[in-house]
Each structure stands twice: as C-alpha cells, then as structure tokens.
Amino acid sequence: MKYTLKTLALGTGLLLGLTTSCQKDFLERTPPNIILDAQLWNDPGLITGLLANYYDRIPTHTTTYLGADFNANPRRRTGWPDFAAYDEAMWSGNGNGPNDLFSFDAFRWENWNYGLIRDINLALEGLDQYSNALTSAQKEQFKAEFRFLRAYTYFELGKRYGGVPLVTSQLVYNFNGDTTPLQVARSKETELYDFVASELDAIKGTLGNAGSATRANRYTAMALKCRAMLYAASIAKYNAQSGLNIQTSGGEVGIPANLANAYYQKSLDAAKEVLAGPYSLYRANPNLGENFYEALTKKTANAEIIWRKTS
C-alpha cells in the first residue's frame, strides 16, 4: 500500500499561507515563559523575588545575634550539630558521644561562589541599563542590597582563601581567541578586606535603619564590617606572632602586622554604630538558662536579632 503526501503538503501550505497572510506579525510573539530585562528591572516585585533568591544563596547559619558570633558552614545549613562538632565543651553526638572530630576533608568549608557574584554584577548592571520606571529611591535601595550581598560573599571567600580576584562587572568573551581580559589576577588580602569595608561604608546610608530582620539595613552592614575588620586585624596581628607567618610574596595571603591597629579601630568604630542602633541583649526571662535558649530560638519580640534567615 502506498501513501502520498502531496495533497497534505499542498493543503498545509495553503492553510499556512492563508493564516499568515491575515496576520502580518504571526511569528513575532513575546514568549510567555521568558521575562525580558526591560520587564524584570522595572518591576519591584520581580526584583524583590530575585533579591530573595540571592539572600538564600549566601552561606549562612540560621541567625546572627548581637551576643554571639556564629560563623557559616557553606556546605550544610545546619545549626547546633556543626557548632558542637568544633567545640570541645559540648557533646557533639559524633561517634561515641564526646567531641571526636579530629580530622575532616579538605573541602569541608569549601566555598567558591563566583556564580552568585556574577549574578549580582549582572543585577547591578541591569538596574543601571534598564530601570526607568523605578523611583530613584527604589533603584538605589535595590542596588545597595545587591552590593551588601556581594561584599558578604567576598568576605566569605576571603576568610577561606585570602585575596581572590575582585570581579565587579561581567566578563564577556568576544570570541577573538584572546582570553587575557578575562584573566583577573588575585587581589592582595588587604585589598579584599578594604573592598568589603569601602562597599559597606558606601551603602550604609542608602540601606536605611532597621525595618526588617531578614533584609540588610545600616546596622547589618556595620555588623558585617565589624566582623570583617576583626578578621583582618587578627590575621595581621597573630599571623606574625604565630611563628608561621603564612604569606605570599605578592600579598595575596597575609596582612602586614603594622596594619593590625588600623583594622581593629575600623572594627571598633563599626561596632559602636551597631550598638547605637535599636538592638539589645535578650533578657525577657529571669531564668538565665531558659533566657539563653529563648535568645537563640525566639524570632519575634527579640531585640537581640540583627539579621536572620527564615525557613
């Protein structure tokens, strides 16, 4: 048995011809599943949603408190198990019960988050290039929050690797065979910490005062600066005193000891700004043991929380 497609092809051609001749822009349609740059960067709701995604991608534990300094584990977003694993004063529950985490793999604290940095750089450029329906205040607020998250991410990189490449705009390859413009050298460790400090100083006024415990504000920025500058000062002071004095010839790792006091002063000044804010230690429960527990778990009516992550 034989089949012929001539009639089908002819009929389909006539039908398509009749349809397209009546609708001039038949193939020129806006995809329903793609958000264009001009749409995204002029819609506060869409930008806020994107911003929430970026907040979620930074390495965090559950909460940052005024009375405790909890560092982040970028690979597992857990709380007490990891705190206990590194604290000889606590029962970690590992193996036989007491703390027995004597060794761990080289990548336990790994974090190489340039994907997030690239996305933030694209967001900042998108706001500058496409936003014309936002008010100046909205635009600057969004940009300040993106810059806060970028500074936070660079601090997390610096804690692990020292000076890393500081990339603040998108790197575009033009397919001419020359990749030299894309080869950004590592910064000095001092340059990384100075970048974090300058970014936070530049945006703190735009971020405004405390209005949300889950989004960055002036005091969140200064709390981050306080911590980052304390890291830099401690590296400068104690690296030299340790006898190891770990550093590279180009300054990518290591901070000169003579810079310690300046970094300590920056940390202190930032801390004073935070202490002048609306935060205070949680003291609602006269039972000190219960009070300590509530300070770590109570999210509402808790003036000790500077910044928290909600699940």
Predicted pLDDT of residue 289: 94
Q: Which of 73-77, 183-187, 211-215, 258-262 has the lowest mean pLDDT?
A: 73-77
Q: Which of 6-10, 24-28, 261-265 has the highest mean pLDDT?
A: 261-265
The span from the CA of 69 to the CA of 302, in Å, is 17
Q: What are phi and psi of 65, to 5 degrees?
A: -115, 155
Predicted pLDDT of residue 33: 84
> What value does the mean pLDDT take over residues 117-145?
96
The span from the CA of 203 to the CA of 221, in Å, is 8
Q: Which of 59-63, 128-132, 162-166 has the lowest mean pLDDT?
A: 59-63
Q: Which residue has the higher pLDDT, 147 or 104?
A: 147
Would residue 234 be called left, alpha or beta, if left means φ above 0 and alpha means ψ between -120 and 50 degrees?
A: alpha
- Residue percentage of the chain with pLDDT more than 90: 60
Burial degree of 168 (CB within 10 A; 0-12, 13-18, 19+): middle
> What value does the mean pLDDT take over residues 150-169?
96
Please provide the average confidence, as pLDDT, over all residues in the chain: 83
CA dihedral 302, 196, 155, 282 (to 10 degrees): -10
What residues does 94 pair with on adjacent strands? 97
Predicted pLDDT of residue 85: 59
Predicted pLDDT of residue 34: 87
Predicted pLDDT of residue 9: 47
